[in-house]
Amino acid sequence: MTLLGAADDPSCYSRLVNDWVCLDYVGDRQQEIVDATIQHVGITVVSVALGLAIAFPLALLARRLPRLESAILAVTTGIYTVPSLALFPLLVPFTGLTATTVVIGLALYALTILVRSLLEGLRSVPDDVRESATGLGYGRGQLLLRVELPLALPVVMAGLRVATVSTVALTTVGSLVAYGGLGNLIKDGVLTNFRAELFTASLLCVVLAFALDALLVLVQRMLTPWTRGARA
Partner 1 sequence: MTVFGDMWRYLSDGANWSGSDGIAALLGQQLLLTLTALLMAMVIGLPVALWLGHLGRGGFLAINISNVGRAIPTFALLALLVVAPWPGTDELGPYGRAGLATLLALTLFALPPIITNSYVAMREVAPDVREAARGMGMTGWQRFWRVELPLGLPLVVSGLRLALVQVWATATIAALVAGPGLGQIITDGFFRSNYGKGIAGALVVAAVALVLELLAALAQRAVDPSRRGTPTGGRADALSVAPATVDPTAETVG
Residues lying near partner 1 in the complex (CB under 8 A) are found at 66, 69-70, 73, 77-78, 80-90, 92-93, 112-113, 116-117, 119-121, 123-124, 154-155, 158-159, 162, 165-166, 168-173, 175-177, 183, 186-187, 189-190, 193, 195, 198-199, 201-202, 205-206, 209-210, 213-214, 217, 231
**Nearest alpha-carbon partner for 106 in 57, 29, 52:** 52
CB of 216 to partner 1, least distance (A): 11
Q: What angle do CA 186, 20, 215 make, to 5 degrees?
A: 60
**Nearest alpha-carbon partner for 171 in 179, 163, 159:** 179
Nearer to partner 1, 37 or 112 (CB): 112
CB of 115 to partner 1, least distance (A): 10
Q: Are 55 and 120 in contact (CB under 8 A)?
A: no
CB of 155 to partner 1, least distance (A): 5
Nearer to partner 1, 142 or 202 (CB): 202
- Report the 10 Å Cβ neighbour count for 42: 15
Nearer to partner 1, 78 or 139 (CB): 78
Nearer to partner 1, 129 or 210 (CB): 210
Q: What angle do CA 184, 113, 163 make, to 5 degrees?
A: 40
Contacts of 232 (CB under 8 A, 6+ apart): none
Nearer to partner 1, 77 or 132 (CB): 77
